[in-house]
Amino acid sequence: APLVCAMEERSIAVEMLGLCKHYLLYQTTSLEIPSKLLSLATGKDIAESVLLTAAKRVKTLERAFNVLRGIRRSDDTLPERLFDNPVAQGPFAGETIDKNLFSEMIDDFYQTSGWDANGIPRQQTFDELGLSKEWELFNSRMNKREHPDV
């Protein structure tokens, strides 16, 4: 799960710059060149860590947006056939994905992302990313969804 989070955040960083995320697959997982390109374009020294923090903000805000539209853990899954039907051929012939192991990976992914067990970003995550005001808005909208009469 930490590797998946890291690659997802690097993909977001590259996409924020308008580059193809396949850069990460075929060139390098480093954001050194993209951060240098951004530095040259803006005239400001932008470190790789700054890009990654921005990507984590995007990831957290995207998830918060989706949560407000009803997305939860039950939506973070794969087609049932991948759990039930063995692979027909190739190096993984006869294999299926173990639902329990997949669920554990989701737990790890959520924890690494700073989300709760239902896939909802935590206040601490917003705060650590400098998104405290966004947390207040998100939390108030969540409360309205949970208590529409209030």
**Residue predicted with more confidence, 8 or 30:** 8
**Residue predicted with more confidence, 27 or 110:** 110
pLDDT at 126 over 80: yes
Name which of 9-13, 21-25, 51-55, 105-109 the model is least confident about.
21-25
> How many secondary structure helices (H) and strands (E) does the chain include?
8, 0
pLDDT for res 49: 94
- Residue-wise pLDDT tens digits, 92-101: 999 999 999 9
pLDDT at 25 over 90: no
Band the pLDDT of 150: cuts 50, 70, 90. very low
**Distance from C-alpha of 121 to C-alpha of 111, rounded to nearest angstrom:** 10
Q: Which structure tokens are listed for 22?
A: 């396949």
CA angle, 148 as apex, 141 and 125 as ends, to 5°? 25
Which residue in 66, 75, 60 sits closest to 141, CA to CA? 66
pTM here?
A: 0.87
pLDDT for res 26: 72
- Calculate the CA dihedral of residues 92, 97, 98, 103 and round it to 10 degrees: 140
